[in-house]
Amino acid sequence: MSTQHKAMQYRPIGTTGMSASIIGLGTEHLDNKPFVTADEVIGTAIDHGINMMDLFMPGEAVRTTIGKVLSGKRDKMIIQGHIGSTDINEQYDRSRDLTVCKKYFENLLRCLHTDYIDCGMLFFIDSEQDFTQVFEGEIVKYAQDLKKEGTIRAIGASSHNPIIARRAVETGVLDLLMFSINPAFDMAPSSVNVLDHLEDDRFDFEKNLDPDRAALYKVCEQSGVAITVMKTLGAGKLLSTEHTPFSQPMTVGQCIHYALTRPAVVSTLIGCASGAQVHEALGYLDIDDTERDYSGIVKDYQGTFKGKCVYCNHCLPCPQEINIADVNKYLDIGALNEKAIPPSITQHYTSLNRHGSDCIACGRCEERCPFSVPVIKNMKRAAALFGV
């Protein structure tokens, strides 16, 4: 496996002023690992431009190890640290008791030898009860106070439930959301607890694109709330012939590309247990559009995707060099509320090199699209909506 990679790309985290590397690091596999392993994983990541890291793990030992690794390099990483992530006997747990939340958050600062955490994440907002306890209690106020005093630079939340996550986004408190995204989860009805299904023999869901998940991503983009992604690889199940719900396994690159092509997504946080696994994730930077293309995998589900753009860009090349997926994406977001399109969405659209108005209706894209998307019509709609 190559240890040289193309340059990292970065995306802005909403209006926070921070920009995240599109490949980030999940650190859950560093639990119970020695310093040398954590140093190899985090060191390899930093050396290759990864600057985004999630750290929810329980146990003072692993927090202290990571603190040692980051000594002298703290400013190289944007850290997501969680408010409400706790442990019982080094086993991961969560709390909605403010005193307990404070104790663990302050412990995280101490273990990392730092006086700030970039993104203070309201932990595991999956149920109605989680939402009420956190957003209608003292915990959200604690996060807001931390932000005011500069101990955190942004407020985030983590969730696996699209309905509850959307409610959290609509409070207007959040700068970012960590959400579980992969093509299989995107077919899971919002009533399903996707985490329960990670234990199943076969990782399978309905063959329907869940409208609540699709809507969440668009609402995030519309509200300027960035998404960082967990479970990008479906705990590895999407890579396995035995467990995938699709007709063939996906590659790491295809899974990462699927997540990165959802609206609002800025970074995919890949859990790595070795430097080699960091390099495998970084390999995404080196592969071309053909290798990233996931449309051949998810087209099993084309009945429900029919007419809806999945932003895969399988329809390229366009003779007018239009980025068809991006035009469709901003059209979908703008169409959520045509009378009040956020200026950021208009700006993203107008900054594209080519626009809907450049379409010459040659129809080549429509011949290639596996999902029967009416691209020519969409290009016209986008031109009318954004005026170009």
Task: State the residues that interact with ligand SF4 by CB under 6 A.
Answer: 295, 309-315, 318-320, 322, 324-325, 328, 359-365, 369, 371, 373, 375-376, 379
CB of 349 to ligand SF4, least distance (A): 15
C-beta of residue 32 within 8 angstroms of C-beta of residue 91:
no
- Residue number, 360 or 384, with CB nearest to ligand SF4: 360
- Residue number, 137 or 319, with CB nearest to ligand SF4: 319
- Residue number, 53 or 379, with CB nearest to ligand SF4: 379
C-beta of residue 93 within 8 angstroms of C-beta of residue 87:
yes
CB of 182 to ligand SF4, least distance (A): 17
CB of 215 to ligand SF4, least distance (A): 18
User: Rounded CA gap, 318 and 99, in Å?
Assistant: 57
- Residue number, 170 or 289, with CB nearest to ligand SF4: 289
- Residue number, 152 or 373, with CB nearest to ligand SF4: 373
CB of 332 to ligand SF4, least distance (A): 10
CB of 314 to ligand SF4, least distance (A): 4
User: Rounded CA gap, 218 and 264, in Å?
Assistant: 7
User: Rounded CA gap, 322 and 365, in Å?
Assistant: 10
User: Rounded CA gap, 144 and 153, in Å?
Assistant: 10
- Residue number, 52 or 325, with CB nearest to ligand SF4: 325
CB of 379 to ligand SF4, least distance (A): 5
- Residue number, 146 or 322, with CB nearest to ligand SF4: 322
Sign of CA dihedral 254, 257, 259, 261: negative
Q: Structure tokens of 307?
A: 């007419």
User: Rounded CA gap, 19 and 10, in Å?
Assistant: 6
- Residue number, 250 or 365, with CB nearest to ligand SF4: 365
User: Rounded CA gap, 341 and 358, in Å?
Assistant: 21
User: Rounded CA gap, 58 and 99, in Å?
Assistant: 17
Please report how the helices 35-47 and 60-69 are oriented relative to each other, as an axis angle in degrees rounded to 10.
50
- Residue number, 33 or 257, with CB nearest to ligand SF4: 257
What is the three-class DSSP state of 197? helix
CB of 51 to ligand SF4, least distance (A): 29
What is the three-class DSSP state of 88? strand
CB of 309 to ligand SF4, least distance (A): 3
C-beta of residue 47 within 8 angstroms of C-beta of residue 78:
no
Residue 361 DSSP label: -
Q: Buried b / exposed e across 344-367, counting CB within 10 Å, b at 16+?
A: bbbebbeebebbbebbeeeeebee
Q: What does the DSSP assignment read for 276-293?
A: HHHHHHHGGGGS-HHHH-
CB of 21 to ligand SF4, least distance (A): 24
Among 44, 41, 1, 45, which residue's Cα sits nearest to residue 20? Answer: 45
CB of 330 to ligand SF4, least distance (A): 13
- Residue number, 195 or 361, with CB nearest to ligand SF4: 361
